[in-house]
A and B are shown apart, each in its own frame.
Chain A
């Protein structure tokens, strides 16, 4: 089983490398992370924290947008594309299960995302530490940011596979992927915000809203990074919500999501008749 998963992963890495995905993802992450770090150099003094902390706070916001985007762009074509080309039928006549195919692709894609996160955030982190100083806490926050960004990427890779298996054409899959990104990253928060304003600090805002927030992997990602580090929360302005939830809630959400999404993708993929 491992051998087959690795065989699929190896081929998928060749493809990602040759399609310049690896290079593009890494360059994009690095450029944005460096830009944010130096743009964030100004407010350091006001908050009384080191530059790396501020940098991590702004990179957290960046990652909420970019990690799902990169993941969906890599995964939406994974099944619909092969199905349209006709390669999927041939692949499925080999003694390899659909779960193994999916997991092999996942390994290659998550590896690409991990490389981009480590290099991008790592470079920005080193730059911030050198120019503005860093402490144990801010280095830990940076490592947490890298780890949780990879988890967030994993969620959207798996969701991308699920929608790629659900539709038959790559074009439809691309459209759905854009919609999915919009809903999870933008619309969900907007909707909740509207409800909070309407509720005017009532029962909903204090007891339901934080849980609804943590149910969304993108918000769970934000909350985890914020609640784990007071300084990052301070720099991010999210202390209120983070305090209303138990510490385990955001990590649980962000760890359960990739698993659940992967199982969903496998289930949908199993129903595909190439």
Chain B
């Protein structure tokens, strides 16, 4: 059974400090430090092979670090307290093909010390109740992914590590998944989500960490990351009579097609630039303004050689 502790008295759900991992001669993690508070949702971004999955395996105690410390709800990774406090959704969930969904989840519930009665409710909640008594070998990928999510919800973990949880899910299922993540966070579970789906995590997480070649190159809220990056705002102007030459001649920028011009400007110069545009009067019929997207930020932080 899970015991209810007051999050404020137990502190951070996860602390990673100075973590290094080498695989033979390859350094896969280098001096990684992170902290997650109860109820915080953090997106973990990074190119293929950046070390996201490696970091999760170290946090789970499946692999041992070459250097550095990890504390999972105050416990050492791999200890039974840490295992009880954490939940994991692997990158490619694979269950035994010969087991039914109910049998598989019952096994996990009994191992986690969660009531076996909760299994039915969880299968219902992730939407696989109808298939519960069929072999998992006959399930679709998305259904297996949902079963993987169901086992994350067992026993109210203090921290959930989700490795690309939306891969293979249809749009509605993705929405459901984030609803479930939100609910977990509301109950005080810290959630770390490794993902390549930038637009999804942009809207549904509190903080963003970006990894590059085994290092954490950014770790902050989206707002502060964009402020620090000082990326330009994109202004798209639509010219009168579909003729952009006049506008382009007066304001510069880049012509996109015959009718539009794109301008880049820094946040401080935004109002000044808008004033120039307004001064053109009827020449401009429409202005679209796009603040830097997470993709721009991601390119900025992961593309440059900064440490």
List chain A positions with a Cβ less than 8 A from chain B.
Answer: 3-4, 6-8, 10-11, 14-15, 18-19, 82, 85-87, 89-96, 273-274
Contact = CB atoms under 8 A, between A and B. Distances in A.
A96 B86 CA distance: 13
A11 B135 contact: no
Interface string B68-83: 0000000000001001
Given A14-B98, A15-B98, A93 B107 contact: no
A93 B104 CA distance: 15
B107 A7 contact: yes
A87 B106 CA distance: 15
Interface in B3-18: none
Contacts of B83: 93-95
Contact of A95 (B93, B107, B112, B151): B112
A273 B62 contact: yes
Contacts of B95: 87
A85 B97 CA distance: 10
B99 interface: yes
B155 to A, nearest CB: 9
A161 to B, nearest CB: 17
A82 B64 CA distance: 20
> Which applies to chain A's interface (DSSP): helix, strand, loop or mixed?
helix
B25 interface: no
B256 interface: no
Given A3-B110, A90-B88, A15 B93 contact: no
B113 interface: yes
A18 B98 contact: yes
Nearest to A21: B98
B90 A86 contact: yes
13 contacts: A14-B103, A18-B98, A82-B96, A85-B96, A89-B57, A90-B90, A90-B93, A93-B83, A93-B86, A94-B83, A94-B111, A273-B63, A273-B64
> Which applies to chain B's interface (DSSP): helix, strand, loop or mixed?
mixed
Nearest to B59: A93
B261 interface: no
Contact of A4 (B90, B99, B110, B148): B110
Contact of B62 (A3, A7, A15, A89): A89
A259 B92 CA distance: 36
B99 A86 contact: no
Contact of A86 (B64, B94, B98, B108): B94
Contact of B110 (A7, A89, A92): A7
Contacts of B103: 11, 14
A15 B137 CA distance: 12
Q: Which 4 A-B pairs have the closest CB atoms?
A: A7-B110, A85-B94, A94-B111, A95-B83
Interface string B95-123: 11011100110111011110000000000
A217 B220 CA distance: 62
Given A10-B107, A85-B94, A91-B111, 10 more contacts: A3-B110, A7-B106, A11-B96, A11-B103, A14-B100, A14-B103, A86-B90, A89-B57, A89-B90, A96-B111
B60 interface: yes
B62 A19 contact: no
Contacts of A15: 96, 98-99
A274 B91 CA distance: 13
Contact of A92 (B62, B99, B106): B62
B265 to A, nearest CB: 48
Nearest to B161: A93
B84 interface: yes
Contacts of A7: 106-107, 110-111
Nearest to B100: A14
Contacts of B88: 89-90, 93
A216 to B, nearest CB: 34
Contacts of A6: 110
B62 A274 contact: yes
Contacts of A3: 110
Contact of B107 (A8, A18, A86, A274): A8
A3 B100 CA distance: 20
A15 B107 CA distance: 12
Given A3-B110, A93-B83, A93-B88, A14 B99 contact: yes
A40 to B, nearest CB: 38
Nearest to B135: A18
B96 A87 contact: yes
Contacts of B90: 86, 89-90
Nearest to A100: B111
A257 B80 CA distance: 31
A93 B151 CA distance: 11
B100 to A, nearest CB: 8
A209 B108 CA distance: 50
B297 to A, nearest CB: 31
